[in-house]
Amino acid sequence: MSIPQPVDPTATDAWKKLESLADTFQPNLRQWFSDDPDRGASWSFDAGDLMVDLSKNLVNEQILSELLALAEETDVLAHRDRMFSGDRINVTEDRAVLHTALRRPEGERLLVDGTDVVPAVHEELSRIFDFARKIRSGAITGVTGRRFTTIVNIGIGGSDLGPVMVYEALHPYVLEGLECRFISNIDPTDAGEVISDLDPETTLVVVTSKTFTTLETLTNARIVRSWFLEALRENSVSFSEAEAISQHFIAVSTALDKVAEFGIDPANAFGFWDWVGGRYSVDSAVGTSLAIALGPENFAQFLAGFNTMDRHFAQTPAEKNVPLLMGLLNVWYTNFLDADTHAVLPYAQYLHRFPAYLQQLTMESNGKSVRWDGSPVTYDTGEIFWGEPGTNGQHAFYQLIHQGTRLIPADFIAFASPQFPFKDGEADMHELFLSNFFAQTKALAFGKTIEEVRAEGTAEEIVAARVFPGNRPSTSIMAPALTPSVLGQLIALYEHLTFVQGAVWGIDSFDQWGVELGKVLARELMPAVEGDYKALEQQDSSTRQLIEYYRSHRQ
């Protein structure tokens, strides 16, 4: 089924009304909270186990109603339904977008081109789970009969960021005695550091690449394969190469023919489908290292969490639909209040890679300048996502969020229960931590007036420097604890709010042509880098000078 032409959002009535509202907009969170003592509750929403408090955003009923009208006029919910039902909404690659099918419960049906895709998803999942159980129990061992203790995932982008982030986030769920390591960068340091103290006899390598053509991943996989064979020899193990590789190397890909070309038996590979984008793939076979480390039951809970948020997004009325509301607020900030960036500040050290994960999810999805019919956009798209865990960020960049000249909407994420219930004397350490979480959004929203600063007896010459303007927007997301299910819900929340923004902007959030040119040029430049004089001469003066610098300084 072909997809309708995108709507130019600037041509809608809602866009025009939002522009005129923004022209005269004077947010006053202090006033709004004092006028409406229930603002906290009335602007908070449940989505699965997440409690999402939107009350400290720069939004009122009138703006919200225009944002919802904008969603209607740009057909966002119809587009959502197209995604869920497998229409080819990835127009520039002519593909369906069905990461949501990866977490559908067994027994549900989803027909794509006449085939129900859900049974295949569960078939592959059972193969992965069966394999994971055998690794965890020691039923499958390395070539010398020793149990696997280290899983090395080699992948990049979506084949790395998701597994790393989830492994870090769910560390308490990792099986004792098992460790995952990750190699992504083609900088030789990455592989070098990871393998430096590895025992080849207890190492399982998972080569993860959707396309199985990615230069970084295939280069790293070859390097690790050579290291592995050499290290086994150094251990005086007698083995057949083919057997050792087949016991220690598995692959995850949609391109099983290429897996075979690389030298990994497709029987040792787990697959997924072209309707899963790389940055949406952590819940596919790309999570194999996680299924092993966390165990099938926890991985199943993780998937169930995604599904909870999928159902919320698919079924909840617009005015309570959290991904829709958060996505629309981001449009409000980006297109009407001129925000360029968006901070994500987890008050959970375990989520320290979450902002990096979201950077690929949001920026590879929505960093586009043409709509899905090729027409140029005339408005900003794709916010720049960034962040670090609190409280570390507080002692680094929060200064700019509180008192700088830029508007930076920020998402704060926290969990009620800690993993480590430490006490510092009488004080509960988690409560000290969460007091910071509560304090920051309060300070951002309500600031500190000049009168308040003066009333503290501050010397007049530094009064201005100590004023906090307030009205700095934040969203607070809380959940009982960081469990596999809650993490799945959180990821799906951001997947869907990214979708909402892309749908309003009329862009294809599921292609990534912008990463191609650099890849091609890197390949073309290799001869010049290797010293081919003619190739070097053809370069522009800057590139030539940089390569010459490299060649004259390389030791």
Ligand X SMILES: O=P(O)(O)OC[C@H]1O[C@](O)(CO)[C@@H](O)[C@@H]1O
Q: Mind telling me the catalytic residues?
A: 364, 395, 519
**Cβ–Cβ contacts within 10 Å for residue 62, how many?**
11
Judged by CB, which is closer to ligand X: 78, or 515?
A: 515
Judged by CB, which is closer to ligand X: 464, or 515?
A: 515
User: Using CB under 6 A, which of 44, 211, 268, 316 touches ligand X?
Assistant: 211
Q: Which of residues 142-161 bind ligand X (CB under 6 A)?
A: 156-159
Cβ pair 248, 127 in contact under 8 A: no
Least CB distance to ligand X at residue 103 (A): 19
User: Using CB under 6 A, which of 139, 416, 515, 521 touches ligand X?
Assistant: 515
Nearest partner of 158 among 275, 33, 66, 283, judged by Cα:
283
Please report whether residue 6 would count as binding ligand X according to CB under 6 A: no
Least CB distance to ligand X at residue 308 (A): 25
Judged by CB, which is closer to ligand X: 381, or 485?
A: 381
Q: How many residues bind ligand X (CB under 6 A)?
A: 14
Q: Which of residues 332-371 bind ligand X (CB under 6 A)?
A: 364
Report the C-alpha gap between 181 and 141 in whole angstroms. 18
Please report whether residue 271 would count as binding ligand X according to CB under 6 A: no
Cβ pair 474, 29 in contact under 8 A: no
Judged by CB, which is closer to ligand X: 157, or 323?
A: 157
Please report whether residue 278 would count as binding ligand X according to CB under 6 A: yes
Residue 224 tokens read as 């690790």
Please report whether residue 288 would count as binding ligand X according to CB under 6 A: no
User: Using CB under 6 A, which of 225, 366, 512, 547 touches ligand X?
Assistant: 512
Three-state secondary structure of 414-481: EECCCCCCCEECCEEHHHHHHHHHHHHHHHHHHCECHHHHHHCCCCHHHCHHHCECCCCCEEEEEECC
Least CB distance to ligand X at residue 17 (A): 37
Q: 412 φ, ψ to 5°?
A: -105, 135
User: Using CB under 6 A, which of 39, 88, 210, 368 touches ligand X?
Assistant: 210
Residue 288 CA: distances (Å) to CA of 2, 279, 422: 34, 15, 33
Please report whether residue 382 would count as binding ligand X according to CB under 6 A: no
Please choose, out of 95-103, 119-127, 208-216, 469-477, the segment that lies near ligand X by the rule CB under 6 A: 208-216
Report the C-alpha gap between 386 and 410 in whole angstroms. 10
Least CB distance to ligand X at residue 256 (A): 13
Nearest partner of 361 among 510, 176, 474, judged by Cα:
510
Residue 416 CA: distances (Å) to CA of 167, 267, 311: 21, 44, 24
Amino acid making up residue 169: A
Please report whether residue 209 would count as binding ligand X according to CB under 6 A: yes
Q: Which residues bind ligand X (CB under 6 A)?
A: 156-159, 209-211, 214, 217, 278-279, 364, 512, 515
